Structure 1
């Protein structure tokens, strides 16, 4: 699935799934515009146009998208988590998680769609969500809300942007072996029971998710929109 002649904006491109996706799509010929809040992460990312931005700031998110310009695809990978239970939920934790995981994704999608429509339409958005939006994991209350909210918003995007030829899809990975996941799942008493619930017998690698994102952006997925694809090694099936 070559992407020669295509361009893609990837948020959260400095680490984890975003980084793996940026590398993969660049290898397949895409022009990659990588957005991250950490300059050093972008400096070490090959074959990408780098934009440093803190997407938790709405004005900065809009400015980053304006700098990125009109592209064919958007991948909303930027994400964070604050491990808090419902009883311990803090205002600061709520604002941090919702600001990145949901609000920034909506802003980036809005600005991307406006630019695509002005250019005549077409294109695709992939929003990275999580199986946490489908199952109740302890200490993930705000994270789960943000990811379930983004899936709901993805369906609205598909409905509103479809007439302009723009597809919108969510992909919901299981535990993916990134720095963010390590904080939540490194403890054996938490990790091992979770691993046992995966028929495939393993967690996902960032490259697994990147390849699925590439599929959803490709012409092979031309009739897929409004869907939330679990990438979970069978977790939700059992």
Structure 2
């Protein structure tokens, strides 16, 4: 799965799964257009892999559209940007809802829309991978808005695949289990909380960001040419048992 001569937009490229995707795609020959809110993360990523970097707050719809316009008609899009606000059902706030849904769902829909418009204007073709979560399939404590955002993105992925397929644009999603990133560390650092989750994984461990990135590369590549509208669990068997 080589991507020489191709270009990919990666949101949330400064950290976690997004950064792992940026490294992998660059290693395999793609030009990476990295989107992140934190300039220092972008600077360090560019020093590591080259490519282009665009600082943007994806909570701002106008700024999101402007960043996608600056990125241009790339071949691929990976929506990795995501946040979580740990609030229970009874403690949910409007601010938490707006923050999580604004980044995890609305921003992803806007980037998909702008990517599709640019690809169609360029003649069609291309592929999108949205990163969701097993939290969209199972109920986890304090993940109300996060679960809603990820389940919503999976539903949107199917609509995107249906409407964009005639233009040669494939759209899929991956649903990782707990992946060892900074965001996961905040939510799962307590062993009393993480241990019961660990035993529910037949493989007996959580995922590494690089493992998720390799699965995303498969869906972007020509090896996945007949895959669209799918949600691929990267979960060590969690959803199977």
Runs of 4+ in 1 over 3 A off after TM superposition: none
> Residue 234 of structure 2 corresponds to which residue in structure 1?
231
Cα drift, residue 205 of structure 1: 0.6
Does residue 145 of structure 2 align to residue 142 of structure 1? yes
CA root-mean-square deviation: 0.4
Partner of 1:30: 30
Residues in 1 aligned to 2:157 and 2:7: alpha-carbon distance in whole angstroms:
21
Distance between the aligned counterparts of 2:231 and 2:24, measured in 1? 22
Q: Do residues 166 (structure 1) and 172 (structure 2) align?
A: no
Aligned residues: 238
Long gaps (5+) in structure 2: none
CA distance in 2, matches of 1:232, 1:16: 16
What pairs up with 1:21-60 in 2 under 5 angstroms?
Answer: 21-45=21-45, 46=48, 47-60=50-63
Residues 44-68 of structure 1: CA deviation (Å, up to 9, x unaligned): 1122211000000000100100010
Judge which range, 39-48 or 102-111, deviates more: 39-48
Counterpart selection for 2:213 from 210, 214, 229: 210
Structure 2-normalised TM-score?
0.98
Gapped runs of 5+ residues in structure 1?
A: none
- Distance in 1 (CA, whole Å) between partners of 2:85 and 2:112 is 24
CA contact (8 A) 1:22 1:48 kept: no
TM-score under structure 1 length normalisation: 0.99
